[in-house]
């Protein structure tokens, strides 16, 4: 196991454990489980960020495409 590792105690479904034992060699199981958790945590982070952005979007003032284009054109003329 990696030097900065911790042993955790948690439960997984018996069928998942059996499949893990069948498909992944004993020395590789921690690595496979760690990679799966890393992947799942990334999905959770993305979902949380998306939820926050959607919430901010709902609070922002509405702007039409024409208004955005005119604001952009005005900003470009200032520079």
Provide CB contacts within 8 A for 30, sequence distance 6+. Answer: 1, 5
* Position 4 in a domain: no
pLDDT digits (tens, 9 = 90+) for 9-25: 999 999 999 999 999 99
pLDDT digits (tens, 9 = 90+) for 57-72: 999 888 889 989 999 9
Overall number of domains in the chain: 1
* Position 40 in a domain: yes
**CA distances for 16 relative to 11, 23, 53, angstroms:** 10, 10, 35
d(CA 7, CA 33): 12
Residue 9 has what pLDDT?
95
Start-end of H helices in the chain? 14-23, 29-59, 65-78
pLDDT digits (tens, 9 = 90+) for 28-56: 999 999 999 999 999 999 999 999 999 99
* Position 7 in a domain: no
* Position 66 in a domain: yes
* Position 35 in a domain: yes
Q: Which helix (H) or strand (E) holds 62?
A: none
Range of the domain at 49: 14-78
* Position 6 in a domain: no
d(CA 79, CA 74): 9
Residue 1 has what pLDDT?
55
* Position 57 in a domain: yes
* Position 67 in a domain: yes
């Amino acid at each position: 196991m990696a030097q900065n590792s911790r042993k955790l105690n948690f439960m997984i479904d018996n069928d998942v454990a059996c499949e893990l034992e069948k498909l992944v060699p004993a020395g590789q199981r921690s690595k496979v489980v760690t990679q799966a958790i890393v992947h799942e945590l990334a999905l959770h982070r993305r979902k949380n960020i998306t939820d926050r952005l959607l919430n901010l979007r709902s609070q922002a003032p509405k702007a039409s495409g024409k208004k955005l284009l005119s604001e952009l054109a005005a900003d470009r003329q200032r520079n």
